[in-house]
Each structure stands twice: as C-alpha cells, then as structure tokens.
Amino acid sequence: MRIFKRVWNWFDDITGISAVLGPLLKHPVPRARKSAWFYVLGSATLISFFLQIVTGIALASGYVPSSGQAYDTLLFITGTDIGRIVRGMHAFGASAMVILIGLHTIRVYLMGAYKYPRQMNWLTGAGLLLLTLLMAFTGQLLRWDQTGFWSVVIAAEQAGRTPVIGQWLARFIMAGDTVGGATLSRFFAAHVFFIPALIFLFVAFHLYLVVHNGISEPPQAGRPVDPKKYRSWYQALLARDGQPFWPDAAWRDAAFGLLVIVVVAVLAIVIGPPELGPPPDPTIVEASPRPEWYLLWYYAVLSLIPKWSEDWVIILGPAIFGAVLILLPLAAGKGERSPIRRPWSFVIVAFTVFMIAYYGAVGHIAPWSPRMESPPLPAQVVGATTGPVAEGARVFHYKGCLYCHLISGYGGIRGPDLTYAGDILTPAQMTTRIYSGGTNMPSYTGNLTSEELSALIAFLSSRHRQPVFPLPLPRKQ
C-alpha cells in the first residue's frame, strides 16, 4: 500500500493532477432528491461511447475495410468466441448509446435544462445526437452485407432528391456513382476517424460547459429562469443546499454506468451479434433494406408516405427537426422550466416517441420492405419439377421477385399477390410490367435474358385459381 501512495505522490508532484481533478470531482452540485436518477443518463451515454471505442478498436484490428475482404473478415471475427462477444457488444452498445442519448435529450428537454445559461450545453448536445446517428448509419455499411449495402443505396437515393446539391450529396455519400469499394473506404474513415474525432471535440466542450455552468437544479413550478438573477441565485442554492459531486452524486453515475456495461455484455454473450446477411450483390435488384431499428422508422416513413409528399418529407423533415433543435434554446431560453407549466413538452415527447415506435414496428412487419430471406418455392406449390414452369419458379426466386410477391402464401407482400397471376394478367401485360417496373417495383430491363423472361411468363401464366371440385353438395336439412 505504501508503495502505491509513494508512486501516486511522486506522479501528482510532477503532474499536478490532483490540483485539477480534485476541485472537479468535489465541485458542488444541487441536491436532486426525487429526480436524482434522471441525472445519470448523460454520463451513461458517455460510458457507452467509451465502450464503443474499446470494442470498436478491437474489431478494427481484425477487420479489413476492402470490398473483397470486409465480409469475410467479419465472418472470421464472428466465428471466434471473443470476436463474437466483441461484435455483439459493439452492436448492442450502439443500441444502448442511441437509447441513452435519446433519453438524455428527453430528460433535458422535459426539465427545461436547455434554458439560460445552458443553451450551449444543449447545442453541443444536439451536435452529439446528430453525430451519434451518423455513427449508427456509417457503421451499418461496414458489415458489408445486403442490408448495409442497400441501406446506403437508399440513403443516397434520398439525398439525391435534395434541391441543387442533391447530385453532389449523393456522390459524396457513395464516393462515386455507385456503392462499391470506394464507398466502403469512405464510410470506414468516417466511422473510425472523422466522426469520433468530432465526437471527442463536442464531448470535451459539452463537459466543460457542464462544469462551467453547473448541473441544472431540478425544476420547480413557479420558479422561472431570469437570466439577470440566475447565476447568483444558483450560487446561493449551492452554498445553501449543495453536495460534492464525488461521491454524493457520482455514485449513481458509476452504478448506472456499470449496469449499462453489464447489460450490454450479457446481451452480447446470450444473444450474440446480429447475423450477417448475404454478401452484397448489386445484381439483386431489390428496393428496400431492413436497417437497424433506430434508423428503421425513418426508412419506413420514407417508403410509406404518399408519393407526392416524398420530396417534401425527405427534405423538410430533417430540416425542420434540425431547426427546432437549434432554435429551441435560443427562442425559449428563459421562463418556466417545470414541465408541469410546459404541458406541450409532454405532448411533443409523447408524439416523437410514438412516431419512432409506431413506424419502427410498421417497418418491422409491414409490406414496405421485401422479405429477403424468402426460401425458394416448394415443388407442390410450383406444380412441376422440370420444364419452363419449374424454371420460371427458380427465376422468380433468384431474381428477387419472391421478396415482394406472394405465391400461395410464400414470399413477401410488398407487391401484389401473384398466386392467381394467370387469371388476371395476359403474358403481354406481365412482360410490360416486368420490363418497365412500377411504383415500388424495379424495372428488370437489361437484367433478364429472354429465356429467363419466357420462363417467368410460363410460371406466372400457370398460376390459376383451382376449380372447386367436387362441388359442395347442398346440405340436407
């Protein structure tokens, strides 16, 4: 024990660390009493970020960010015991970080803690929220499977609709005209160097502000913030009823942070990392991926809103959201903090959470997204094992038609049910549709040989309603 103390004294003497850290740890914070546990969400977000750095560095040391090897190196990583757990922790850690930063934002918003003098705390926090979502988005592509690949294709398509800079933006995202090796390099650099560097900067500024302005006291109805008097009032409050941050308040942060790490680790061990989808294959024409749950709702909104409103929602949605985040502390920087006196804040939070949950659920089950895991049609459904009909059924599967179309209960439901296609469409109508595509159906021009096309038509034309035979006899009374 003595030796540790001597080493520490020596270290402290030549670095002066305790003179800096001491006041930081001991600085007084308001007693929160009933709402004390709400105050742990920010530090827990930071802890989950550190967890992402540690697991991310571990992953990066086994991962090769090249289009030829990324998928295989991830398969390799997932195949080892440690790698499986680390990948699982990185994936669940990402969810944890998104949830925690979301809850932290809601907490700060409801408690009106963005008001004077903490407007810049809010603005740097909003920056961190955006950067966190960017990390989630860029990380998705690094898996380099179908889902990651198509998520970026769709995102680039959406970005391309922005007026004036759309084309440039889409090219910037993809690092070219299509998603390929250059895109992967760009996303890797963004995910590993650029965005984390920005997060560090923002976190440093955010934490400095937290200490500089002090932690907000729990709001009280009828005690509005007056910028002229607030600071002196706050100092008096601390002098009257403050407590040192360490250990009186910080033990909660430590306990909750530890809980977050344990939960993430347990989930990673028990459930494991998300399964890798099939490797990316640009020849599979397929319209919508199934991104991570925290982005899924946004993709679902984009694909479910009526066509005419798409451009508006794609451009105005994020613009309004960003403007509200920035303007909120500037426009409403004083006055009542208590949510009881700001009843609208509950409505806004409830609405936002509902939208994300609702569209997340819709995105999960609704026909908006093709079922990429659809197995080939069984022989008794096809009704043939050789010949053009059977060949057509195979084409129907490997060209991805089955992802969107239902045949006798098999397949996806994004497009119309084609179980009785032979009854409702002529071969000419089928050919036109397959070549020209339609709303939410890709055009297959140039992507089908004429043999494949005639096999498809043969298969679809053989789909008929079965005559009901024997006819049910009239029931004897």
Is residue 454 within 8 Å of residue 388, measured between CB atoms? Answer: yes
Task: Report, in Å, the least distance between residue 415 CB and ligand HEC.
Answer: 3
Q: Can you give the binding site for ligand HEC, defined by CB under 6 A?
A: 286-287, 370, 399-401, 403-405, 414-416, 421, 424-425, 430, 433-434, 438-442, 444, 456
Task: Report, in Å, the least distance between residue 288 CB and ligand HEC.
Answer: 7
Task: Report, in Å, the least distance between residue 160 CB and ligand HEC.
Answer: 19
Cβ nearer to ligand HEC, comparing 220 with 445: 445
Is residue 461 within 8 Å of residue 420, measured between CB atoms? Answer: no
C-alpha 456/C-alpha 430 separation (Å) is 9
Q: Among 202, 214, 204, 201, which Cα is nearest to 24's?
A: 214
Cβ nearer to ligand HEC, comparing 202 with 403: 403
> How far, CA to CA in Å, does 303 sit from each of 271, 353, 402?
30, 19, 19
Cβ nearer to ligand HEC, comparing 91 with 441: 441
Element (H, E) at 331: helix 310-331
β strands within 321-408, DSSP E: 406-407
Cβ nearer to ligand HEC, comparing 142 with 156: 156
* Pairing mode, strands 406-407 and 410-411: antiparallel
Phi-psi region of 121 (alpha: psi -120 to 50; beta: other; left: phi over 0): alpha
Task: Report, in Å, the least distance between residue 405 CB and ligand HEC.
Answer: 5
Cβ nearer to ligand HEC, comparing 151 with 213: 151
Phi/psi of residue 176, each to 5°? 150, -160
Task: Report, in Å, the least distance between residue 275 CB and ligand HEC.
Answer: 22
Cβ nearer to ligand HEC, comparing 46 with 425: 425
Cβ nearer to ligand HEC, comparing 253 with 286: 286
SS3 assignment, position 414: coil
Phi/psi of residue 247, each to 5°? -100, 0
Task: Report, in Å, the least distance between residue 437 CB and ligand HEC.
Answer: 8
Task: Report, in Å, the least distance between residue 286 CB and ligand HEC.
Answer: 6
